[in-house]
Structure 1
Amino acid sequence: MFETIDYLRFGNQKQKNAYNAINSLGIMESLSEFNPILCGTLPIGIDIEGSDLDIIMEVFDPNKFEKKVKLLFSNKEKFIFKKTVIRNFSVVKANFMYGGFEFELFGQPQSVKEQYAYLHMVIENFIISNHPSVQEEVILLKKQGYKTEPAFCKVLGLKGDAYETLIDFGKKNRIV
């Protein structure tokens, strides 16, 4: 379902606006060699004011990615590019503002469908699709300052590192 952003055209107004902003930038086409997928809260309707658009990618050559992203987007408002390490992966990130949204382009040397952002989104989407009341509870917690994964774990009564625990929950329940 999340391989393209076409579903956003039929979503709520914010999803439609995101669809237009992403298409206007041409991100999915211009970075197609990195297999971009929009992840996070907006695709599954649990975004709140200030939620960004997370586009994750497979980046095995960080220098090539950096050159391309800077060429395409360094002229955008509040553009920042950085390299870091998360969970033993070298990560590249670019952030900027466009069309009323903060974009985060995130790349690591791993298939997008194996990255935590994608797995979390699939698990969270499954949960709210099967238990609609969870959606509102998570949104309320997010408005109180909770990050998404800790909010889901609190609602579900799951303990431990929220990012790992949610993955374990998804595997135990054969969601991922």
Structure 2
Amino acid sequence: MTEAAYHFTDIAYLNDGNVRQRSAFRVLNDLEIMTALSSFDPLLVGTVPIEIDLPTSDLDIVCEFQDAAQFAERLVQEYRKYEDFVIKTQTVDQIERVVCNFTYEDWIFEIFGQPVPTLRQNGYKHMIIEYRILNILGNKAKEYIIDLKSGGLKTEPAFGKMLNLQGDPYQALLEMCEWDEERLRNYLKRIRSAY
């Protein structure tokens, strides 16, 4: 399946989704986030788009910037008026990143930016491979992941447990993201009985 086949680049799909997805669609539109940040190519990623979120899950938005200070200034300008507003800039693996958090209504937002195209950022890649896995394995796998997350595991470690991944589940899922459909299906056939 090619990237063009995924529907996540336009948040309109949320309006036809479950209750939390429709709520997310409403607040994203209330705040006009995708429009306000359009020059930074924003993408909603994480658990809400693929329906494995918990009631406490946040809305994760990844962005691409060329100038960290300009991006941070835009975030301050747009979102400082909201509850729990925090913004920080840091460098990880020699890549500058800006993270902004705030609360609006019952949603916690995390806006993450770095000088990497959004379709190549790890948050997007993790969501896509998790989406592909769940599409193949079905609702039972989705329920299993939600149960593991309800028990305290983060999303990628929950997938690591379900798939019996060795080592760092974050890295293993990134590697799996590069697999073609046949390789992924063959791998998943071997682990179906694990959950």
TM-score bracket for the superposition, by shorter chain length: over 0.9
The verdict on how the C-alpha distance between 1:77 and 1:59 changes in structure 2, with shifts beyond 3 A counting, is same
Match for residue 155 of structure 2? 148
Q: Distance in 2 between matches of 1:47 and 1:86?
A: 27
Q: What TM-score comes out, normalization by structure 2 length?
A: 0.87
State the SS of the aligned residue for 1:44. coil
What letter corresponds to residue 144 of structure 1 in structure 2? Answer: G
TM superposition shift of 1:153: 1.1
Q: Distance in 2 between matches of 1:87 and 1:134?
A: 33
State the SS of the aligned residue for 2:146. helix
Structure 1 gaps, min length 5: none
TM superposition shift of 1:88: 3.5
Q: Distance in 2 between matches of 1:105 and 1:119?
A: 16
Equivalenced residue count is 175
Greater CA drift, 60-69 or 35-44: 60-69
Task: Report whether the alignment pairs 1:81 with 2:87.
Answer: yes
Structure of greater Rg: 2
Q: Distance in 1 between matches of 2:94 and 2:162?
A: 29
TM superposition shift of 1:86: 3.2
Match of 2:164 among 128, 152, 157: 157
Q: Distance in 2 between matches of 1:86 and 1:144?
A: 29
What letter corresponds to residue 159 of structure 2 in structure 1? Answer: F
Task: Report whether the alignment pairs 1:125 with 2:131.
Answer: yes
Structure 2 gaps, min length 5: 1-6, 185-195
Taking only the aligned residue pairs, the percentage that are identical comes to: 39
The verdict on how the C-alpha distance between 1:143 and 1:164 changes in structure 2, with shifts beyond 3 A counting, is same
Q: Distance in 2 between matches of 1:87 and 1:155?
A: 29
Greater CA drift, 85-94 or 51-60: 85-94
TM superposition shift of 1:168: 1.1
The verdict on how the C-alpha distance between 1:135 and 1:150 changes in structure 2, with shifts beyond 3 A counting, is same
Match for residue 53 of structure 2? 47
TM superposition shift of 1:162: 1.1
Match of 2:20 among 3, 9, 14: 14
Please list the CA deviations of residues 77-134 of structure 1 after superposition, one character each: whole Å capped at 9, or x if unmatched.
Answer: 0000001233442110100000210000000110001100000000000111111121
Match for residue 67 of structure 2? 61
The verdict on how the C-alpha distance between 1:87 and 1:42 changes in structure 2, with shifts beyond 3 A counting, is farther
Runs of 4 or more, structure 1, over 4 Å off, are: none
Match for residue 135 of structure 1? 142
Q: Distance in 2 between matches of 1:40 and 1:31?
A: 18
Greater CA drift, 114-123 or 78-87: 78-87
Q: Distance in 1 between matches of 2:137 and 2:44?
A: 23
TM superposition shift of 1:59: 1.4
The verdict on how the C-alpha distance between 1:26 and 1:86 changes in structure 2, with shifts beyond 3 A counting, is same
